[in-house]
Structure 1
Amino acid sequence: MHKSAMPQEGTDTFDDQIRIVLVETSHSGNIGAVARAMKNMALGSLWLVNPASFPDETSYARAAGASDVLDNARVVTSLDEAIADCVCVMGTSARGRKVPWPVMAPPDAAAKAAEHSAAGPVAVVFGRENHGLSNEELQRCNFHIHIPSNPDYSSLNLSMAVQVMCYELRMDYLRGLEGGDGSPYLKPMNAPGDAGWDVPPAPVKDVEGFFEHLEQVLVDVDFHRREKPGLLMTRLRRLFQRAKLDRTEISILRGVLTAVQKSAGTDQPGSNTSKARSAAGEQE
């Protein structure tokens, strides 16, 4: 079983304060796909308004491990019942209504939903697969959410639309952990020295030793002339400095250089380059 690289802070991002509401879903497989999208982003409160078929085998098959979300789903007969106790209701909609309504993109909607969830339940409502929410249903919403998809191909599958919103809700939640951008869940790991990297950065003396070794090897194989250096070593320095090498990577590169020297017959037994090759073998 795959184990997540990140520690898990909980199974429900908002402790059921934010609910996903699906109105009159016609294909039960879409309900299962929505459950999967929700669980991916640690959301667990699913409400279904008059689904055509639920529960059934198709919905559970499409849930792919998110059957607990389906087990706990609430089935109701009207949108009013699904949102009656909510302090904020947000409905997905295309732009262009005759009477403008407060509308926002998913990131802003997620932040607004999270803000209101501190006071009570928040509903994020998705309409039917073929024509979305009716005007009457949209008028029950405090805010409309517009996903800015390709205008030439704007129709999103129901589960895709839910995934977009669940992702934005998840990101907003994670940004709020441990001081916003300081959250370990969002910090990148790109180079030695970043949290989670397995080997410390190479110190300057080791990097300089590598560059000296590299230059010597290039001289040994007649690729570089010290009397006419040009910009070769400058460009190679820029290349390797950009890579931000760690200790093990330096040792591996030194070992490669030593192997080249040995093959070329220029390696001196007992030299620093020979020791570097041995060190690289020990650290692999």
Structure 2
Amino acid sequence: MHKPSPPLEGPDMFQDQIRIVLVETSHSGNIGAVARAMKNMGLGNLWLVNPNSFPDEASYARAAGASDILDRAQVVGTLGEALGDCVLVMGTSARDRKIPWPVMPPSEAVAVASDHSREGAVALVFGRENHGLSNDELHRCHYHIHIPSNPDYSSLNLAMAVQVMCYELRMFYLRNLEDSDGRPDLRSMKAPGDAGWDVPPAKVADVEGFFGHLEQTLHDVSFHRRDNPRQLMSRLRRLFQRAQLDQMEINILRGILSAVQKAAGAQESTKPTEAGAEPARQEDGHV
């Protein structure tokens, strides 16, 4: 028994019009991995041309929650059956051809596929694990898609190749939503003030208070000399301002400084300095 699948999320274009076609897949586990890659990116229309073995336990085991994609998969005997009602066919190819054929990278291919999907089904065709699509099969394609992998190691696992194309389709769809600017999955979160950050950015007055506290603490532990400051505080200021601190981080740092000051004062009053020991100072290798 395969585990139940969560519902597929995605636009009708993904679920119905974009058709992933696998030709004579040798290993059924790869079919399951393809189903998982598709569902990750919101696609659900899988066609299998003369697979070596399907359905079986290996395919469902590798699907890992995308068993509904396999349940709905169309199994046909020939590539012609898989492509007959399509308005556009695009085939993945890693090899140069004797006769030049229209070829494009994935990012351009998905834009063309999306445009044609308004008119009917669009097939993205993937070949066999060991030698891809034959020349005759590639000649059935309006365009070839070339994934620009490492030329010294260009062979992609079948599911990896499908994942690349499904990801590009997903990103194209998300970027073209009417409210795409408001989608959290398209926004980066790198610093306080970005949507999703849990604490507001520190205010300038709070940061300046921290720098004053830091300088005083370094002076208290004999690390910083106000009469010969060199560039210490300037460089520390540059360091912390580059970090773009939030309010909680300022509070934590001020708490650490207070603890250092308290410990330094307690140590001076209760524990004599060991013979020959000197505290670290600004001039000992510091600027």
| Shorter-chain TM band | 0.7 to 0.9
Alpha-carbon distance in structure 1 between the residues aligned to 2:263 and 2:178: 54
**Displacement of 1:111:** 1.7
Alpha-carbon distance in structure 1 between the residues aligned to 2:201 and 2:128: 54
What pairs up with 1:73-152 in 2 under 5 angstroms? 73-152=73-152
1:165-199: CA deviations, max 9, x gaps? Answer: 11111111111124556643211000010001111
Residue in 2 that maps onto 1:234: 234
Does the aligned pair in 2 maintain the 1:18–1:45 contact within 8 Å?
yes
What pairs up with 1:188-227 in 2 under 5 angstroms? 188-227=188-227
Amino acid at match of 1:104: M
What pairs up with 1:37-52 in 2 under 5 angstroms? 37-52=37-52
Alpha-carbon distance in structure 2 between the residues aligned to 1:119 and 1:80: 19
Alpha-carbon distance in structure 1 between the residues aligned to 2:116 and 2:181: 21
Q: Which has the larger radius of gyration?
A: 2
User: Cα distance 1:211–1:178, how it changes in 2: closer, same or farther (>3 A)?
Assistant: farther
Alpha-carbon distance in structure 1 between the residues aligned to 2:24 and 2:177: 35
Does the aligned pair in 1 maintain the 2:19–2:47 contact within 8 Å?
yes
Q: Secondary structure at the match of 2:227?
A: coil
Alpha-carbon distance in structure 1 between the residues aligned to 2:116 and 2:199: 43
**Displacement of 1:35:** 0.6
Alpha-carbon distance in structure 1 between the residues aligned to 2:87 and 2:236: 61
Q: Secondary structure at the match of 1:185?
A: helix
Give the gaps of 5 or more residues in structure 2: 1-7, 267-287
Q: Secondary structure at the match of 1:75?
A: strand
Does the aligned pair in 2 maintain the 1:93–1:145 contact within 8 Å?
yes
Q: Secondary structure at the match of 1:159?
A: helix
**Displacement of 1:12:** 2.4
**Displacement of 1:94:** 2.1
Amino acid at match of 1:12: G
Give the gaps of 5 or more residues in structure 1: 1-9, 267-284
Q: Secondary structure at the match of 1:200?
A: coil
Q: Secondary structure at the match of 2:125?
A: strand
Amino acid at match of 2:241: Q
Matched, 1:34 2:34: yes
Amino acid at match of 1:53: S
Does the aligned pair in 2 maintain the 1:16–1:45 contact within 8 Å?
yes
Residue in 2 that maps onto 1:280: none
Alpha-carbon distance in structure 1 between the residues aligned to 2:23 and 2:104: 21
Q: Secondary structure at the match of 1:125?
A: strand
**Displacement of 1:22:** 0.2
Alpha-carbon distance in structure 1 between the residues aligned to 2:200 and 2:180: 26
Amino acid at match of 1:42: G
Does the aligned pair in 2 maintain the 1:48–1:75 contact within 8 Å?
yes
| TM-score, scaled to structure 1 | 0.87
Residue in 2 that maps onto 1:155: 155
Moved more, 175-184 or 123-132: 175-184
Aligned-residue Cα RMSD (Å) equals 1.8
User: Cα distance 1:95–1:179, how it changes in 2: closer, same or farther (>3 A)?
Assistant: farther
1:125-155: CA deviations, max 9, x gaps? Answer: 0011111111111111111001111222211
Residue in 1 that maps onto 2:22: 22
Q: Secondary structure at the match of 1:26?
A: coil
Does the aligned pair in 2 maintain the 1:176–1:183 contact within 8 Å?
no
Does the aligned pair in 2 maintain the 1:49–1:76 contact within 8 Å?
yes
Q: Secondary structure at the match of 1:205?
A: helix
1:86-142: CA deviations, max 9, x gaps? Answer: 111100012421111110111111222122222221110001111111111111111
Amino acid at match of 1:239: L
Alpha-carbon distance in structure 2 between the residues aligned to 1:31 and 1:201: 48
Residue in 2 that maps onto 1:11: 9
Does the aligned pair in 2 maintain the 1:175–1:183 contact within 8 Å?
no
Q: Secondary structure at the match of 1:265?
A: helix
Q: Secondary structure at the match of 2:53?
A: coil
